Structure formats: structure tokens, C-alpha cells
Amino acid sequence: MAGFQNYKHARRQGGDGFAGPRPSTVLYISVLWRDRTTKVTGCEVLPMQVDEPLDALVKPAQYKASRGLGRMRREGPDHLADTYTASSQEAAREAACEAARTIQFIEATRLVPSRAKRSFPRGQFQYRMPGSDHDAAWFDPAAKTFIRTNEPYTRGGVTSEQDEWAARHGWAVAVSPWKGMYRPDDGTSLFLMADVSKGYSLAPLISRLAQAPAPVVASAWNGESRPIVPVFVSPGRAAEIAAKVREIKAVEKRRGAKNSVEYSMPFSGARRRPKSRMPIEGHKSVGRLLKSVLVGTRGRTGVHRRVDAIRCELHSWAECEYKPDELSDDVFFDLYYHELPESDPLAVAPANWDRNIESLDEVKATLVRYYPECPPLRQLLKKADLAIASLRTWNAALAHTVKSREFRQHPGLRV
């Protein structure tokens, strides 16, 4: 783990930053694993020091073009997460280290992964360099040219056959002093190849690779081994989430600031309600309609629960809208919570739920008539719409049941 004493040191540096002329940041690479034999699971998290933010080095759309990043996803501005579950802890560490080495190479060379066939001489795979193994294509955004890397199992130099190939195509081949991305601790070496017929030189890349930190390898693991749960969240991802929450709250506040106000009730915390009040007669009418819908719908949770939530919310709004000297306790509690008198036609459960649908439609119309458009009102209207949808489904089911029963009793009837 280049640049850190241990994992905790990396976390502290990730939060506080680094002193010096080139400010650094911390990139976290996480890989889940599950041992198929022992059934043990875990998550390996490898922090590494980088001088540029992840998105400045490589874009998510470019991950797939790289062997080391091909299975990774951007989990945050400072977090790469493997999309696969490794078969063991060691395999997870190997995957994290290969991704880290790829980032090391990208940071040192400023190349980005590519799949372009134009990276081959004459744009043809058949002209691939002899002895190529674990080779890959890269693009130099500054020079607008393609480079290829080759990582065979060898500690030797460029062969005579490869020199002849390079001369024949106007290319150059150079051995990197930095051991590479594939298996640098297991015998592979890194070679760079490029078309130099138009003046391009590999020398600057070789020079930068010579100054790069040693390749990160699993044998020198200094990351964190942690349980899968709770899920690892990097500092950058946590900051992204917090920023998004703040943005959503700010948008909601802007959208509702003109037409809604904040209020709080015991045990419910801060909420918002329309910045106006419905007449007492309006509350009485809506309360009566809601009570009528609640009659006989206890068996339909999707209706009863939502209508009860509307009643509770409007009860709170009425309490905020009217002071005790404007609305007596007897009248206030009768608005939404006392049962309908037996003489009220709506006190009797309806034969079907069409009446309840009409009642909820009237509730919506009354609320829209007296309250300004705002998020709190939209939430109530949405609950009413969902309750109506549930009632309509229930009506259809009841009708089907009745027709089926009639058909069984009178087989000659058409259903």
C-alpha cells in the first residue's frame, strides 16, 4: 500500500489531506469474497495514495477496456468496488492489487484504457507483435496516439524477432523499469510499444514509470479485512450522499417555501404543511367523507391505512391552523375522530365501493380548492390516489367473485 503506514493511517489522511506541493488523496479498492469450502465471507479494502482524483485519471466508461479495472464499478469519487465476489480472501486481495497496479500505471503514464483495433500496426490484429502475452491497448490523450503494452512471463529484454517486427512497421519497443500490472511478483515484465514513424517517443513514459512507486502486490498486503456487513462506505461516497441529501432538501425547501411552512408535533418531529388554512366547514366536510371511507374498509389495508394517514395529517394541520379561541376542543376533535352519527347516510357501509371512490374524489377536490400547490398537499393527494386505486381493484375482485358464484348456482348464465 504505497504511501501509508497502515489502513488507519490511510483513513486519517483521506479525511485530512496531505501536506506538500502536490496534494494527494486516498483511493479505496474493495472486493467481497466468499470461501466456497468454509462458507466464510469478508471484504478486503485496499487504500492507495494517488495524486489525482479517480475521475480525472480514468472514466467509468473506460474501465471495461482494462483487465485490471474491467470488473470494477465506481462506487464513489474515491472508491472502486469489484462487481464480482472472489472465491477466497487471497483471490480478493489479488483482484484489489491488480486494480491498484492499473491505477498506478495510469497515474504514471497518463494513458487511458482502450479497445481500439487501431492500436495494432495498420489497425490489424494479424500484425500483433511476436511473443505478445497479456497485451493491452492504451491511448495517449495528449499526443492523440495509441500505445500497446505487453506483459509476458520473462525477465529478458526485447528479442531480435521483436526488433525486426518494430523496424518493419515503424514502431519502437521498450522495456519498462516498472514491472507492470499483470503478475509482477510472479515473473512477468512490462513492455511498451508505439508507432514512432511520426515522431512519437516512448522515452517520457519510460522515465515516468521509472519514478513510479513499486507495484502493489498481495504478498505485501496492508489493507483492511472486514465483514461484508456493514457495507464499506468511503469518505468520498459519504460526502456525496450527504451533499445529495442537502441538495434534495434545498430543492424541496425552495419548491415549498412560498406555499408551505414548517411545523412540529409531539413525537413526529419537523414537518411541513400548506401556508394557508382550510375553512372549518371544509375540515368538517373532508372529515365526514374520510370517516365514511373508513367504515367497512378495515379488511382492505391499502385503503384503510392510507385514509387513516390522511385523516391524521389533516387533524394536525387543523390544530396548527386554528387557535383554541377560534376552534373549541369539542368541535376540533369532532372534525376527524368521532364516529359519524347513526342518522348520517354515510355512517352505513356501502354495498360496493363506488361511493367511497366518489368520497375520496370529493376530498381531493376540497383540498385542492382551499390549499395552495405544495409538496405536503401533493403527498396527501398521492395517498388518496393510491387508496382509490386499491378500491377499484377490490371492486373488480368482488364483482368477479359475485359473477362466479352466480355462474355456479346458474350454469346457464353468461359470466
How confident is the model over 96-133, as pLDDT tens digits? 999 999 999 999 999 999 999 999 998 899 999 998 99
Residue 183 CA to residue 189 CA, distance in Å, equals 8
- How many degrees, rounded to 5, is the angle at CA 9 between CA 12 and CA 208? 100
CA distances from residue 161 to 129, 158, 168 in whole angstroms, order as listed: 9, 8, 11
Report the candidate in 63, 78, 68 with the shortest Cα–Cα distance to residue 29.
78
Sequence ranges of the domains in the chain: 7-239, 258-409
Quick check: 97 and 117 in contact, CB under 8 A? no
Q: Write out pLDDT tens, residues 52-72.
A: 999 999 999 999 999 999 999
The residue assigned the cell 496492508 is 222
Query: Full-prediction pTM beyond 0.75?
Result: no
Question: If you write DSSP's letter for every residue of 290-317 in order, what string do you get?
Answer: HHHHHTT-TT-HHHHHHHHHHHHHHHHH
Residue 314 CA to residue 151 CA, distance in Å, equals 70
Phi, psi of 150 (to 5 degrees): -135, 130
Residue 269, pLDDT score: 76
CA distances from residue 270 to 126, 267, 336 in whole angstroms, order as listed: 69, 10, 22
Q: Which CATH architecture has domain 258-409?
A: Up-down Bundle (1.20)
* 122 Ramachandran zone, left/alpha/beta (phi>0; psi -120 to 50): left
Binned at pLDDT 50, 70 and 90, residue 415 comes out as very low
Which H or E run includes 326? none
Q: Choose the weakest-confidence range: 168-172, 194-198, 349-353.
A: 349-353
Residue 363 CA to residue 295 CA, distance in Å, equals 16
Quick check: 317 and 274 in contact, CB under 8 A? yes
